[in-house]
Amino acid sequence: MLCLCNAIISGSNMQIMHLKKIFYCVQTDQVNKSSPQKPGSRNIFKKLICCLRAQDAQLPTSPTHDALLAPEDNGTIAKVPGECLLPAVTSQDQGKICVVIDLDETLVHSSFKPISNADFIVPVEIEGTTHQVYVLKRPYVDEFLQRMGELFECVLFTASLAKYADPVTDLLDQCGVFRTRLFRESCVFYQGCYVKDLSRLGRELHKTLILDNSPASYIFHPENAVGFTVLLLFSFFVKACLLDSTSCYLTI
């Protein structure tokens, strides 16, 4: 991560440390955990949102070019980089770092189980039945996104289905921080995981970061990732940057 920061940011070591404060926020125990889902409900939820994985699940191995062309165990073939996923960089984002941000368990926590203090309740049709999805925003996520939108070209990239993630993002990002939204169909299916292949974005890799709670999502480009063993604690970002803007000055 430090090598990546040195490559994409011109400035003092102190400025690099401030950037790391934004991304490498202190770890905390997962908040607002729902009680275990019923097996049937959990299976439906997994079809919708790709954030439910066994704790001891083995991560996919780093791929080679030949591996990307080989048939997968389920009979599908991993996609080969082709047309860029993102449109051309706009004038307002020229020269900015592109930051790819995950949705579930990074910005929000969602559940089929009713949550009394849910920030959003989103109806989603699954297999002919409408389900209510209860969504909790990460603390200070609004302030986080506002500041990120000022500094970077922000792209939402989730392995969840668009019919769930799109309405959630409509409610979450009312200021239009995300320039583009990418969903499951934009992922590469590799060794049973939906991987976010940064090489397909159409941006310079040395000026691209991904913020994601799942290491499997960035297995192709781990050097570009800001990983989280648990979750972001956005209150730390607010304290370190938003409440003291002079301490978070970046030269990009």
**Domain boundaries, given as residue ranges, for the chain:** 43-51+94-231
Residue 64 pLDDT exceeds 80 = no
Its pTM stands at 0.70
pLDDT: which is higher, 225 or 57 = 225
> For residue 41, what pLDDT band results from cuts at 50, 70 and 90?
low
- Rounded to an integer, what is the distance from CA 58 to the centroid of its chain? 20
Q: What is the pLDDT of residue 133?
A: 96
> For residue 61, what pLDDT band results from cuts at 50, 70 and 90?
low
**CA proximity to 237, closest of 101, 132, 122:** 101
Q: What is the pLDDT of residue 140?
A: 86
> For residue 74, what pLDDT band results from cuts at 50, 70 and 90?
very low
Residue-wise pLDDT for 202-248, tens only, equals: 999 999 999 999 999 999 999 999 866 434 444 455 555 555 554 44
Q: What angle do CA 243, 249, 252 make, to 5 degrees?
A: 140
Where in the sequence numbering do the catalytic residues fall? 102, 104
Compute CA distances 126 → 37, 83, 195, 204, 245, whole Å. 16, 30, 23, 37, 44
> For residue 163, what pLDDT band results from cuts at 50, 70 and 90?
very high
Fold of 43-51+94-231: Rossmann fold (3.40.50)
Residue 35 pLDDT exceeds 90 = no
Residue 4 pLDDT exceeds 70 = no
- Beta strand pairing status for 178-182 and 98-101? unpaired
**CA proximity to 26, closest of 184, 200, 239, 201:** 239
Residue-wise pLDDT for 79-91, tens only, equals: 444 689 999 999 9
Residue 13 pLDDT exceeds 80 = no
Task: Please check whether residue 155 is in contact with residue 182, taking contact to mean a CB–CB distance below 8 angstroms.
Answer: yes
Residue 124 pLDDT exceeds 70 = yes
